[in-house]
Amino acid sequence: MPNKNAPREPAAAITRRDFLKAAGTSAIALALGGSLATGADSAAPTRKPNIVLILADDLGYAELGIQGCKDIPTPNIDSIAANGVRFTDGYVSCPVCSPTRAGLLTGRYQQRFGHEFNPGPPTKPQPNFGLPFTETTIAQRLKALGYVTGIFGKWHLGFEPKYQPQKWGFDEFFGFLGGAHHYLSTTEDPNNPILRSTKTIESIDYTTDAFAREAASFIERHHDKPFFLYLSFNAVHAPLESTQKYLDRFGSIKDEKRRKFAAMNSAMDDAVGRVLTKLREKKLEENTLVFFVSDNGGPTKQTTSGNAPLRGFKGQVLEGGIRVPFMMQWKGRIPSGMTCADPVISLDVLPTALTAAGGRVNADMKLDGVDLMPFVTGKKKGAPHDRLFWRFGQQWAVRMGDWKLETNGSHAPALYMLDQDIGETTDLAATNPAKVSQLQKAYDAWNAQLAEPRWGRAGAAQP
């Protein structure tokens, strides 16, 4: 059921359940862009869809207009939800940056291959840091299907040449390899330069603008063939830096930290708008599957990014660390203005994109994600997942239905009923021992399948 405490939906929004209940077979066909025509028109071949994956960095659950934010307009990002589906219970597989990316790009719980922690800075990374070569990325899988592939922005999956994006299926790379970067300079951290492929870029205006500009150029240059575009912002990760152009939009915000955060968030929204506009200019909008996700919850103290009404922050397996803005658009295929309260996870991006591209998901891939399209279009009933898991060092959690069992390692597992208590305020473990036992056994069975971390936790702050 929809979360009672979730951000209020726009008046025009419909839930997935309402859509499936109200729509008959022919109505569904029309809503999904189907045609009642017969003959040559219905048999006309269509090009494989483009895939655009947009990843925000450290964006809090409550920092978009569509998520309830009042002081920072985000019309472009909001439009992805308005034109498609917003998952109110969308998760990532880790509450910090690098492990989330490892899971996102492989479609597998990253703990299965030891990618459990962030690596530390490029000057002194943890030994063995990088995706292991047992894994296959979404870029590699789509490239095998004839896609041209590009990444623009933050990588954070390996510093050594053998681990860089070009080794993982990306034809083009413009960005940086570390976990964070200054927005206005390429020289502040000489160990973490902005690169075009392997060549260092000497100057930059503003990383958010530059990554969007490069992404739009990628679309312009490859609009006549199917492409996979991974736009991986460093916004709105610290340090808080902005150009005056964006700061001027928020003169009414007196708190200097909040004003800079607002400027950075607004710049990211403009950047997303630039990419969406380019898709429209090239008449690609109805043949492009677009995802927007954040890599983890917001670190409120450091940046002001808020996660309300959730409890917790980046680095925690409380909802505020792992539940994130998560939306998906495919005009003509996904009904517009939908909200879905079923739990989904960023691991679902790969199988959803791969299946949309005409690829096949089979058991040999050992994916943990699922194709979301049949669930949002009504071809499959029920929820995509009956359980989701997290492990981050001593912290762990499991969600089954609306029940969640969670611990930070220093207390006995706490039990919450999320549809009634989205803020995880009331521990129900003492009055529901059978439910605690059920979730504990599910977690233990999953945990037994995982690998040991390939490197240790790099500092308590987990940047």
- Tell me what the mean pLDDT of segment 230-236 comes to: 98
* Largest separation between any pair of C-alpha atoms in the chain: 66
**In the annotation, is 69 catalytic?**
no
Q: Is the Cβ–Cβ distance between 110 and 118 less than 8 Å? A: no
Give dist(CA 119, CA 168) in Å, integer. Answer: 18
- Tell me what the mean pLDDT of segment 23-28 comes to: 39
| Each residue's pLDDT tens digit, 310-369 | 999 999 999 999 999 999 999 999 999 999 999 999 999 999 999 999 999 999 999 999
**In the annotation, is 156 catalytic?**
yes
Q: Which of 325, 418, 340, 326 is nearest to 69 (CA)?
A: 325
Q: Which of 327, 380, 319 is nearest to 349 (CA)?
A: 327
Q: How far is CA 283 from CA 31, 80, 219, 224, 463, in A?
A: 20, 16, 11, 11, 39
Give dist(CA 49, CA 357) in Å, integer. Answer: 6
Q: Is the pLDDT of residue 184 over 80?
A: yes
Pairing assessment for the beta strands 414-417 and 403-407 based on DSSP bridges: antiparallel
Q: Is the Cβ–Cβ distance between 271 and 57 less than 8 Å? A: no
Contacts 24+ apart (CB under 8 A), 238-245: 238/58, 238/180, 238/299, 238/302, 238/303, 239/180, 239/182, 239/183, 240/264, 240/303, 241/182, 241/183, 241/184, 242/183, 242/206, 242/267, 243/184, 243/205, 243/206, 243/209, 243/267
On whether the 388-447 domain is CATH 3.30.1120.10, my answer is yes
| Each residue's pLDDT tens digit, 39-89 | 333 334 578 999 999 999 999 999 999 999 999 999 999 999 999 999 999
| Each residue's pLDDT tens digit, 377-392 | 999 999 999 999 999 9
| Each residue's pLDDT tens digit, 119-147 | 988 887 788 899 999 999 999 999 999 99
Pairing assessment for the beta strands 338-340 and 14-15 based on DSSP bridges: parallel
Per the prediction, the chain carries an average pLDDT of 91
On whether the 14-377 domain is CATH 3.40.720.10, my answer is yes
pLDDT at 124: 79
Q: Is the pLDDT of residue 37 over 60?
A: no
Residue from 115, 156, 222, 385 carrying the catalytic annotation: 156
Region for residue 128 given its phi and psi (left: phi exceeds 0; alpha: psi -120 to 50; beta: otherwise): left
Give dist(CA 165, CA 140) in Å, integer. Answer: 10
Give dist(CA 91, CA 345) in Å, integer. Answer: 4
A 10 A CB-CB count for 377 gives: 20
- Tell me what the mean pLDDT of segment 211-222 comes to: 98
Give dist(CA 151, CA 214) in Å, integer. Answer: 9
Model confidence at 189, pLDDT cuts 50, 70, 90, reads confident
**For the chain, domain boundaries:** 14-377, 388-447
- Please report, in angstroms and rounded to a whole number, the separation of the first and last CA atoms in the chain: 35
Model confidence at 26, pLDDT cuts 50, 70, 90, reads very low
Strands, E assignment, 136-277: 148-154, 172-176, 195-196, 199-200, 227-232
pLDDT at 34: 38
- Using the structure block, give the residue that is written with the tokens 């390996």: 158
CA angle 410, 180, 219 (to 5 degrees): 125
Model confidence at 1, pLDDT cuts 50, 70, 90, reads very low
Environment class of residue 407 by beta-carbon count within 10 Å: exposed (0-12), middle (13-18) or buried (19+)? middle
Give dist(CA 312, CA 122) in Å, integer. Answer: 28
Q: Is the pLDDT of residue 31 over 60?
A: no
Global confidence as pTM: 0.91
Residue from 69, 94, 97, 340 carrying the catalytic annotation: 97
Give dist(CA 260, CA 135) in Å, integer. Answer: 38
Determine which of 74-83, 186-195, 248-257, 351-360 has the lowest per-residue pLDDT on average: 186-195
